[in-house]
Amino acid sequence: MFNRFIPTPSSSSIELGAITLHYYALCILLGIIVALALGVVRWRRSGGVASELYDLAIYVIPAGIIGGRLYHVITTPELYFGARGHLSDAIKIWEGGMGIWGAVALGVLVAYLYFQRRSRSITFPLALDALAPGILIAQAIGRWGNWFNHELFGGPSSLPWALKIPVADRPMGYEKFSTFTPTFLYESLWCLLSAGLILFLPRIRKLHPGDTFLLYIFLYCTGRIWIETLRIDRAHLIWGVRLNVWVALVCGIVSLLFIIKRERLHTPQTKD
């Protein structure tokens, strides 16, 4: 019988002379490039000047990388502190470990401070809206870095698109299983679907400044809750539930409440 599955890459990096290029880092870099390219187009359509986005990117991109890494280090301290931790590994982002929550939070904060100090051709909410779908596509691309690193997969699966994991990378207790749920693929597809919805929605419904970014948060969190529950990698639990599920749940609810509140504010009140 012919077995179908997604193969795992045999290498997570490529050697170019004295330089080692890690595919995880390349996926992150490619995602940033695509997000910038789409962001420029939407920035201009919002009435902005493209050069302003490039100026902003100089501050926001490093902030996003640092924020994403800090979230990972803070939520998995045992890997970097204590008797079994290695603090020097905290800078090795090419080995995986980027928390999107930290990346978005610090990136948005830096962008807000940037807009407070400098006058731009578009408002801060419009700037966030312009970048939202590009961020989702960047996340979709970045998730393939987990594929190259043989990490963050779900439980055993016999589906045709299951991910084949080498014995050395299988979690303790799962050594006898060879194929697993490709959660990296599910999240990548969910991000692309969400980006498509965000790009299409303005054609059928008028969105107010800031709504697109809030919708991005809500859609991503909704998918992440489902995908996170499929994963079997080690994670900190709160009341038996993975930490990232709680974070996604809180962020998703808060963004939805903001959307509802803003919708009510912009809805004309009818008089009896």
Is 42:131 a contact under the CB 8 Å cutoff?
A: yes
- 10-residue mean pLDDT series, the chain (272 residues): 76 84 92 96 92 94 93 86 77 80 94 88 93 97 94 93 93 93 96 96 86 96 96 90 95 94 71 51
What DSSP character marks residue 88? Answer: G
Report the C-alpha gap between 88 and 62 in whole angstroms: 19
Give the alpha-carbon dihedral of 218, 219, 223, 224, to 10 degrees: -50
pLDDT at res. 271: 53
pLDDT at res. 269: 56
pLDDT at res. 140: 97
All residues at 6 or more sequence positions from 147 whose CB lies less than 8 Å from its CB, including other chains: 6, 8, 9, 163, 182, 184, 185
What DSSP character marks residue 21? Answer: E
All residues at 6 or more sequence positions from 118 whose CB lies less than 8 Å from its CB, including other chains: none
* 136 closest CA partner among 104, 170, 181: 104
Mean pLDDT of the chain: 90
Is 78:85 a contact under the CB 8 Å cutoff?
A: yes
What DSSP character marks residue 164? Answer: E
Q: How confident is the model over 197-218, as pLDDT tens digits?
A: 999 988 888 888 899 999 999 9
pTM of the model: 0.91
Q: How confident is the model over 61-89, as pLDDT tens digits?
A: 999 999 999 998 888 888 888 777 777 77
Q: How confident is the model over 25-41, as pLDDT tens digits?
A: 999 999 999 999 999 99
pLDDT at res. 2: 47
**Residue in the structure block whose two tokens are 């919002």:** 46
